[in-house]
């Protein structure tokens, strides 16, 4: 039985010489080569998406480009703009914050439990003083009091997945730093929707162990917990296909470079098995925009005043303008 400490955010999960997930990220040497400079999230591929015109079918992106496109897509669906103050929880080496700050002019605060990640974030921020970027080594399971401001956006890419055992507590911690009308813009690594979250031994061996995951919820359970915590979904997208494409691309690069995981396994094989796990429905990925109010506010405009036709789980990105007289 693993020890869980929601306060520190660390849980003992020895794999080779890695004691826990912080140790994994601090020691990881493959990310810049395989995933792109400073990036630790998967990609968004327009040719797989219903949101983009079909002409995109002719121009599949490479993985590193797709990782930037995911940032941009999250900025769009989260409607992040220069009036926002964003808290990126589990910001890694700053790939998301840099693009948010550059593309929108928003103020971004990033926290991460990884010592080497935050060193890299601060180095980049110092070299780019025109961007409003602040970073701190901290756990989002216990956000330090001096950072407990009220943020208009809580942003996370593939970080919450380390705490699905305590997903309720993590969502409650985020609620404590949300300003009125704030939205959460989350991209998370998921498990299976099968009864009991059932997974094969191959998936446990090649996915869960390597990433120091203990429990991963599937799409349905993840949404159920969020709604249980009082969140309303303003947007939800299943990114399983994008995850398949990402890990196919990553597998090639990892094999080419001969990277190994802490248990000695070929990283390329781990990634190829991840593709199989997604195809079996044992692993998945989502993108969600959630609020604590049933409706969202943008730039002071109460969307209740907009004469749109959305259902409770509809997307809102087509509803920026009133459609008719009240």
Asked if 9 touches ligand SAM (CB under 6 A), the answer is yes
Is the C-alpha dihedral spanning 29, 137, 98, 236 positive or negative? positive
Q: Return the residue of 104, 152, 157, 203 that touches ligand SAM, per CB under 6 A.
A: 157
Q: Which stretch binds ligand SAM (CB under 6 A): 111-119, 190-198, 220-228, 250-258?
A: 111-119
Dihedrals phi, psi of 233, to nearest 5 degrees: -85, 125
Asked if 111 touches ligand SAM (CB under 6 A), the answer is yes
Q: Which stretch binds ligand SAM (CB under 6 A): 57-65, 136-144, 264-272, 314-322?
A: 136-144
Asked if 274 touches ligand SAM (CB under 6 A), the answer is no
Asked if 135 touches ligand SAM (CB under 6 A), the answer is no
CB of 105 to ligand SAM, least distance (A): 20
Is the C-alpha dihedral spanning 178, 40, 138, 3 positive or negative? positive
| 22-51: contacts with ligand SAM (CB under 6 A) | 25, 39-41
Q: Closer to ligand SAM at the Cβ: 210 or 223?
A: 210
Asked if 207 touches ligand SAM (CB under 6 A), the answer is no
Q: Return the residue of 114, 218, 268, 284 that touches ligand SAM, per CB under 6 A.
A: 114
Q: Closer to ligand SAM at the Cβ: 25 or 259?
A: 25
Strand ranges, E, within the chain: 85-89, 107-112, 133-137, 151-157, 178-190, 232-238, 284-291, 297-298, 301-302
End-to-end CA distance of the chain: 59
Q: Which positions ≥6 away from 195 have C-beta within 8 Å?
A: none
Asked if 140 touches ligand SAM (CB under 6 A), the answer is yes
Buried b (16+ CB within 10 A) or exposed e, 78-105: bbbbeebbbbbbbbbbbbbbbbbbebbe
Residue ranges in contact with ligand SAM by CB under 6 A = 9, 21, 25, 39-41, 90-92, 95-96, 111-114, 117, 139-141, 157-159, 162
């Amino acid at each position: 039985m693993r020890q869980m400490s929601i306060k520190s955010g660390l849980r003992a999960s020895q794999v080779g010489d890695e004691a826990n997930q912080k140790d994994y990220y601090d020691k990881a040497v493959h990310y810049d080569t395989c995933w792109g400079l400073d990036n630790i999230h998967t990609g968004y591929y327009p040719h797989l998406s219903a949101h983009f015109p079909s002409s995109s079918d002719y121009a599949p992106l490479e993985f590193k480009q797709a990782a930037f496109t995911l940032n941009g897509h999250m900025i769009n669906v989260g409607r992040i703009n220069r009036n926002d103050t964003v808290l990126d929880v589990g910001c890694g080496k700053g790939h998301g914050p840099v693009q948010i700050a550059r593309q929108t002019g928003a103020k971004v605060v990033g926290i991460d439990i990884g010592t080497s990640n935050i060193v890299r974030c601060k180095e980049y921020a110092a070299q780019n003083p025109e961007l409003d970027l602040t970073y701190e080594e901290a756990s989002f399971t216990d956000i330090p009091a001096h950072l407990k401001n009220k943020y208009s956006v809580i942003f996370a890419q593939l970080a919450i997945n380390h705490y699905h055992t305590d997903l309720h507590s993590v969502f409650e911690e985020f609620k404590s730093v949300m300003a009125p009308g704030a939205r959460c813009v989350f991209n998370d690594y998921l498990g299976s929707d099968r009864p009991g979250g059932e997974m094969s031994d191959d998936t446990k061996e090649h996915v869960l162990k390597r990433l120091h995951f203990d429990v991963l919820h599937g799409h349905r359970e993840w949404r159920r917990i969020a709604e249980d915590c009082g969140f309303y979904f303003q947007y939800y997208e299943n990114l399983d296909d994008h995850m398949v494409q990402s890990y196919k691309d990553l597998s090639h690069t990892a094999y080419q470079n001969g990277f190994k995981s802490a248990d000695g396994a070929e990283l390329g094989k781990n990634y190829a098995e991840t593709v199989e796990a997604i195809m079996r429905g044992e692993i998945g990925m989502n993108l969600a925009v959630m609020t604590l109010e049933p409706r969202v506010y943008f730039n002071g405009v109460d969307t209740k005043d907009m004469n749109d036709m959305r259902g409770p789980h509809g997307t809102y990105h087509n509803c920026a303008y009133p459609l008719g007289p009240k």
